[in-house]
Amino acid sequence: MIITFLTDFGYEDAYVGAMKGVALGICPGATLIDITHAVPPQDVLAGALLLPAYVPFYPPGSIHVVVVDPGVGSERRGLALEVRLDGAPQVLVGPDNGVFWPLLTGAESFRAVSLTDSRYWRPQVAPTFHGRDVFTPVAAHLAAGLAFEALGPPVSDLARLDVPPVRREAGALQGEILVIDHFGNCASNIRATDLADLGALPHLRVMAAGRDLGPPRRTFADAAVGEALALINSAGYLEVAVRDGRADVALGLRRGAPIRVEGFAARPA
């Protein structure tokens, strides 16, 4: 059984190693996979936006531990969720702080339980490390065959996360940059499917950082080296990039920076 880990723990400390030791102590045959531990500290939105980029691609029944948890030790609940994506179930374990919400909005269905049965936690729970003492043991017990329903009672009032919406205007979409990746590419909240809202307008131009980037390109190679461009990324979102460079540095883009798509019946002069 596969268990993946996504956290904001970084790579300098032993936190991730401790979680893996707990998992293997309960389910020695589990396959453990690191997604990333470089989520910015306490940045729940950044972690949440990563989930749709990897969870749907795992084998059915994979278990995903997600620990971006600035409220650890507080009254926030721990959750396990069974989520159906593209017809296949995936299981997620982590805090009820909204980190799962963007993934759930695109799911075909889901069910959730509150992690109340302490038999499936470590015997001693540190109030500052539920990733090791609650979430990972629960994931490992599930990987070892524990029934999902045994973890605790069903819940439906999950915490939501406010993701900035796309504003729709006559002949235009107004969005903002949400994610900046390792390459400096700046992904927005505008989906490829949102472009259909511009109706029959066949020509588009993307405006960001005070620049007219023209229509979205198909790939990075469609731009000259050092040229700024817009394109639809592999997750289906409109992003701004610089060919063989960093858009965040070259254009001064940060999370929250505006991006606009305008449609035209004919190409603008």
Domains and CATH numbers, the chain: 2-155 (3.40.50.10790), 167-264 (2.40.30.90)
Residue among 53, 136, 48 at smallest CA distance from 96 = 48
What pLDDT score was predicted for residue 263?
87
What pLDDT score was predicted for residue 266?
64
Mean pLDDT for all residues in the chain: 94
Joined together, the tokens standing for residue 148 give 């999902």
Average pLDDT over residues 89-96: 98
Using the 8-state DSSP alphabet, how is residue 96 labeled?
Answer: S
Joined together, the tokens standing for residue 268 give 């603008």
Whole-prediction pTM value?
A: 0.90
Q: Give the whole-number percent of the chain exceeding pLDDT 70.
A: 97
What pLDDT score was predicted for residue 260?
96
Average pLDDT over residues 232-236: 91
pLDDT band at residue 215, thresholds of 50, 70 and 90? Answer: very high
Considering only residues 141 and 265, tell me which one the structure prediction assigns the higher pLDDT.
Answer: 141
Q: Is residue 39 classed as helix, strand or coil in its secondary structure?
A: coil
What pLDDT score was predicted for residue 201?
60
Residue among 69, 66, 53, 56 at smallest CA distance from 185 = 53
Does position 267 have pLDDT exceeding 60, yes or no?
Answer: no
Q: Using CA atoms, how far apart are residues 223 and 37, in angstroms rounded to an integer?
A: 32
The model's pLDDT over 161-203, given as tens digits with 9 standing for 90+, comes to 988 999 999 889 999 999 999 999 999 999 998 988 886 666 8
The model's pLDDT over 50-72, given as tens digits with 9 standing for 90+, comes to 999 999 999 999 999 999 999 99
What pLDDT score was predicted for residue 17?
98
Does position 269 have pLDDT exceeding 80, yes or no?
Answer: no
Q: Using CA atoms, how far apart are residues 91 and 79, in angstroms rounded to an integer?
A: 10
100 within 8 A of 66, measured Cβ to Cβ: yes
